[in-house]
Structure 1
Amino acid sequence: MSHLPTPGAVIYAKNLSKLSGFYEQVLRPTATHANDDYTIFELPHFQLVIHAIPPQIANTFEILVPPQLRSDTAIKLMLSVASISKARDVAAKLGGRIDAENYEWEFQHYRICDGYDPEGNVIQLREHLSR
């Protein structure tokens, strides 16, 4: 048994409630803790933390609708979902987007598709292919 903490990632949010709601509904994780500063989601072998950007910083910029993509970052989260198709529908209703079906590809037993959350963070969703 390892005493190492669960690996994870932090996403900083201008709108904590909106971004937490997006990931909660798209990924269906277990929320283990939430307050005015952050939400912690537990996924199998991964912890996702949505952390509020301090107001003095958050007030210096706006999130456009649709959001400007933050695609010039060196990191893209790969997140598992049961169904990319269902996640696509949910994401669209919550201000994000998962690319159309014709942009999906298969690799190492997964169907994969890119998209973004309501604040423009680029993400990749992976659905296990049952064969």
Structure 2
Amino acid sequence: MLQQGLVVFAKNKKRISAFYQQTLGLLVEESDTSHDLLRGRGMEIVVHTIPRRVAAGVVIAKPPAPREETPLKPTFVVGSLEAVRRAVEATGGYLKPASGAWHFRGHIVLDGWDPEGNVVQFKQAV
């Protein structure tokens, strides 16, 4: 099966892995101290631990603030934005209120971020 992929570098691998597992319905296919390989629905996400010396300089606000300085924003088609909202809340991320959603190319679109502030976009078909 064709797999589209994304690597997410994380200060807290366990927490970020749980976020992507629950929001996207992915399963852990492989796990060790350096990374988790998550797969499902034609995609794979590798959650990779950043080195301790680098992690020491990374400050994660509570609640997490979006890291908007990156030029990339991954987008994921999901079956239900409400199911994503429940998963986001359970794993410490953030999803903008439903009133902030917009319609684009047959989808309802809503931005949020994972527990470390990495901005992501979720789209539900209309």
Is this a same-fold pair by TM over 0.5? yes
Length, aligned pairs only: 126
Question: Which residue of 2 is the match for residue 58 of structure 1?
Answer: 55
Structure 2 spans left out of the alignment, 5+ residues: none
Is 1:14 matched with 2:19? no
Which protein shows a greater Rg? 1
Is 1:36 matched with 2:33? yes
1:75 to 72, 82, 105: 72
Measure how far apart 1:61 and its partner are.
2.4
Question: Which residue of 2 is the match for residue 89 of structure 1?
Answer: 86
Amino acid paired to 2:44: Q
Amino acid paired to 1:66: P
**Sequence identity of aligned pairs in percent?**
29
Amino acid paired to 2:121: Q
CA RMSD of aligned residues (A): 1.6
Write the mapping of 1:89-108 to structure 2, written as runs, cut at 5 A.
89-108=86-105
TM-score using structure 1 length: 0.88
Is 1:117 matched with 2:114? yes
Question: Which residue of 2 is the match for residue 25 of structure 1?
Answer: 22
Cα distance between partner residues in 1 of 2:77 and 2:115: 18
String of CA shifts for 1:84-127, please: whole Å, max 9, x gaps: 11211221232111111111112222111000000000000011
Amino acid paired to 1:34: S
Measure how far apart 1:35 and its partner are.
1.2
Q: After the TM superposition, which parts of structure 1 deviate over 3 Å for at least 4 consecutive aligned residues?
A: none
